[in-house]
Structure 1
Amino acid sequence: MLLVVLLGGLVFGVGLAVSEMAKPEVVLDFLQFDDFGLLFVMGGAAVVSGLAFLVGTRLLDRAPLTGRAYGRRLKDLDQNVVVGGVVFGVGWGISGICPGAAYASLGIGNVPILWGVAGMFLGAYGQGYWRSRD
């Protein structure tokens, strides 16, 4: 099963590289309404994911990796969801890259993106530290 996950990640990374969505400039052009290519990439991903979840949950009674039964995970729209979404969106808008695409960007030789990846790790660590104080 880990081979399937690795293959999925490889396809994801190649797709981001081929569609040029691993380049922050392309993503920033989308956010400035200059290039709508990202809309088609996200739409294609949503269709494939939706079909996979629809077919997977109907044909399999348990999740292949964990063996747990499928079920809905209900999450309330609370302060953490809203603040986290805003912070993520601001970071995406400033850097022009989301976490998945940042790793793909490394694969196409964008070494300066390591600053963004380091920032993501520091932000995640800081949030974990802040929450553990409660």
Structure 2
Amino acid sequence: MKGLRFIIAGIIFGIIMTKSEAVSWYRIQEMFRFQSFHMYGIIGTAVVLGALAVYIIKRFHIKDSKGNPIIFADKEKSRAKYIIGGLIFGLGWALTGACPGPMFVNIGYGYVSFIIVVIGALAGTYLYGLLRHKLPH
């Protein structure tokens, strides 16, 4: 029962993603073709809410569920990494019609072909972990 809250959060996430049509391949294609503002509105809302959440966490020194302080560490800034990573992520998103969250929602929605997409994403993540130290800094 310890993980029940995560299952409930996942169900709520899936419902929100489905009802907002953020898991729709057609909506994602509209976005990449600049034919609709719908997905940009969803992404913009997520960015604003995320920034607000980070501000609140920092402002009120909110702790995690175990009582530890939540720390936001600075990341290494590398323009090349951001460009290459963004291109890989964007191409995968455009080809599959889903980013990581909606991949799982689509499986739950009954699109079993997304299992192949999840396997590909996991394989890519694993491969990156193996090659990370050999990649340019």
Q: Residue 12 of structure 2 corresponds to which residue in structure 1?
A: 11
Counterpart in the other structure of 1:28: 29
1:113 aligns with 2:90: no
Secondary structure, aligned partner of 1:84:
helix
Distance in 1 of aligned mates of 2:45 and 2:134 = 41
Contact map agreement 1:102 1:113 (CA 8 A) in 2: yes
**C-alpha deviation, 1:8, in angstroms:** 3.8
CA distance in structure 2 between the partners assigned to 1:98 and 1:42 by the alignment: 12
Q: Is the 8 A contact 2:23 2:105 kept in 1?
A: yes
- Alignment partner, residue 49 of structure 1: 50
Structure number with greater CO (CA < 8 Å, separation at least 6) is: 1
Tell me the equivalent position of 1:80: 81
Aligned length: 134
Alpha-carbon distance between aligned partners in 1 of 2:13 and 2:58, rounded to the nearest angstrom? 22
Once the two structures are TM-superposed, the CA of residue 37 in structure 1 deviates from its matched residue by 0.9
Equivalents in 1 of 2:67, 2:88: separation in Å?
30
> Partner of 1:91 in structure 2?
92
Q: Which letter maps to 2:120? A: G
Whichever residue aligns with residue 74 of structure 1, its letter is K
Deviation per CA, 1:30-63: give whole Å up to 9, x if none: 1112222111111222222222221222222544
Greater shift, 23-32 or 124-133, is seen at 124-133
How far the C-alpha of 1:74 sits from its partner, in A, is 2.8
Taking only the aligned residue pairs, the percentage that are identical comes to 25
Task: State the Cα distance separating 1:100 from its structure 2 match.
Answer: 0.9
Work out whether residues 28 and 98 of structure 2, in 8 Å CA contact, stay in contact via their aligned partners in 1: yes
Q: For the residues of structure 2 that align with 1:13 and 1:83, how far apart are their CA atoms? A: 29
1:2 is displaced (CA, Å) by 5.7
TM-score relative to the length of structure 2 = 0.79
Q: State the TM-score, normalizing by the size of structure 1.
A: 0.80
